[in-house]
């Protein structure tokens, strides 16, 4: 039997290792991605991990995401449960997480990113190009609406809500196609439903799409849990999603704004590109910048924030705020590192 260690909450005298309580939404996708992280944490920590389901306003209110204040509505109830010590960790789709820090919480780990692309799921194997004129295409994302309209102004783009299975079912009912995230389809084993994978060059996806965030309390003292988080951290993913989300933050835009961003690391060079669209897709602004990566994990994150600031500043200089009705005001110092981005608790040298 494992002896309890007084200052280590990961052990108990009576029952062996204390389970790690992982908070998740109850949807099929949320449970699938949370279970994946749970399995990794269990292997890394040597402790059982139990899923604790939490219901958010986004799960019960069927209004459009834009009217609810964006996809951050899915995170609020989970975060309240973490602050209240009802769970030990949370798993979020990073694209759904607001860029503003939440008091008392921090991102403890960012596992390796899945496919960041969007996909089209259409009747008769159609692609965006071969959809019939006036075809009805469903999406709940203003960014995807703008991108579809930019490429095919004739399409009838329909605002939809619901889980992945609900959206897929509508392709056989009242819609000709839907646009979804490749990562989400992959995580529930339905990627075979995709009829076209949309290239990130013309169809940049939401900042952080395809990545997961494992959130913990900022004052977490469970040494076993912190060590396990270091093992599942993927430094290149944290770097790229930090850059993408910093563009969003500098533009002062919500996670449902018509903005696509892509960051990649190639031969120690970080390349960051972002596009801001008018809601109807008739106009857009794009900016790209790069930085040579060097130094510690924190130095590299600072570089990511700096280059993202330059991207946002150029977009604003070229009228992106007026185009998409954004409040962003990145000014002369906008390329300076934001001290709010850190390598995470104990993650100064995260695993590759």
Separation CA 111–CA 37 (nearest Å): 8
Work out whether strand 136-139 and strand 177-181 pair parallel, antiparallel, or are unpaired: parallel
Asked if 143 is an active-site residue, the reply is: yes
Tokens linked to 48: 């059982």
Q: In a 10 Å sphere around its CB, with 0-12 CB exposed, 13-18 middle and 19+ buried, how is residue 176 labelled?
A: buried
Number of neighbours of residue 171 by Cβ within 10 angstroms: 20
Catalytic-labelled residue, pool 96, 118, 302, 303: 96
Asked if 161 is an active-site residue, the reply is: yes
CA distances 145 to 74, 179, 342, Å, are 21, 9, 33
Catalytic-labelled residue, pool 95, 117, 245, 250: 95
Separation CA 99–CA 96 (nearest Å): 9
Asked if 96 is an active-site residue, the reply is: yes
Separation CA 133–CA 349 (nearest Å): 52
Asked if 299 is an active-site residue, the reply is: no
Separation CA 218–CA 326 (nearest Å): 31
Catalytic-labelled residue, pool 161, 190, 223, 231: 161
Catalytic-labelled residue, pool 255, 303, 310, 335: 255
Asked if 173 is an active-site residue, the reply is: no
Long-range CB contacts (< 8 A, 24+ apart) of 98-105? 98/70, 98/72, 98/254, 98/255, 99/245, 99/246, 99/248, 99/249, 99/255, 100/249, 101/340, 102/215, 104/217, 104/218, 104/219, 105/79, 105/215, 105/216, 105/217, 105/218
Catalytic-labelled residue, pool 47, 143, 217, 238: 143
Catalytic-labelled residue, pool 47, 144, 149, 230: 144
Separation CA 167–CA 70 (nearest Å): 19
Catalytic-labelled residue, pool 79, 167, 245, 300: 167
- The residues near 340 (Cβ < 8 Å, ≥ 6 apart) are 101
Using the structure block, give the residue that is written with the tokens 């002369």.
332
Asked if 39 is an active-site residue, the reply is: no
Asked if 238 is an active-site residue, the reply is: no
- The residues near 119 (Cβ < 8 Å, ≥ 6 apart) are 179, 180, 181, 182, 185, 191, 194, 195, 196, 197, 198
Active-site positions? 95-96, 143-144, 161, 167, 255
């Amino acid at each position: 039997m494992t002896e309890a260690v007084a200052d280590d909450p990961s052990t108990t005298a009576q029952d062996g290792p204390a389970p790690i309580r992982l908070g998740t939404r109850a949807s099929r996708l949320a449970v699938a991605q949370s279970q994946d992280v749970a399995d990794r944490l269990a292997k890394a920590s040597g402790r059982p991990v139990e899923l604790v389901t939490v219901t958010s306003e986004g799960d019960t209110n069927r209004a459009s995401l834009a009217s609810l204040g964006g996809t951050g509505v899915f995170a609020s109830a989970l975060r309240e449960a973490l602050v209240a010590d009802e769970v030990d960790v949370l798993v979020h789709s990073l694209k759904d997480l607001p860029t503003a820090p939440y008091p008392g919480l921090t991102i403890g780990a960012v596992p390796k990113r899945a496919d960041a692309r969007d996909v089209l799921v259409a009747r008769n194997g159609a692609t965006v190009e071969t959809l019939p004129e006036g075809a009805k295409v469903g999406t709940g994302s203003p960014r995807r609406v703008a991108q579809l309209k930019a490429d095919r102004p004739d399409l009838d783009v329909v605002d939809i809500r619901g889980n992945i299975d609900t959206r897929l079912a509508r392709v056989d009912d009242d819609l000709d196609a839907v646009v979804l995230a490749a990562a989400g389809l992959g995580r529930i084993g339905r990627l075979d439903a995709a009829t076209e994978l949309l290239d990130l060059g013309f169809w940049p996806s939401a900042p952080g799409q395809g990545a997961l965030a494992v959130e913990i309390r900022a004052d977490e003292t469970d040494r076993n849990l912190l060590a396990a988080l270091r093992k599942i951290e993927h430094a290149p993913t944290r770097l790229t999603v930090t850059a993408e989300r910093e563009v969003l933050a500098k533009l002062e835009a919500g996670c449902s704004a018509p903005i696509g961003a892509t960051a990649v690391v190639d031969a120690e060079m970080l390349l960051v590109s972002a596009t801001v669209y008018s809601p109807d897709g008739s106009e857009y602004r794009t900016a790209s910048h790069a930085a040579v990566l060097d130094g510690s994990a924190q130095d590299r994150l600072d570089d990511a924030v700096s280059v993202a600031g330059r991207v946002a500043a150029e977009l604003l200089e070229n009228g992106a705020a007026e185009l998409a009705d954004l409040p962003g005001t990145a000014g002369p110092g906008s390329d300076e590192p934001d001290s709010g981005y850190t390598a995470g608790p104990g993650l100064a040298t995260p695993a590759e």
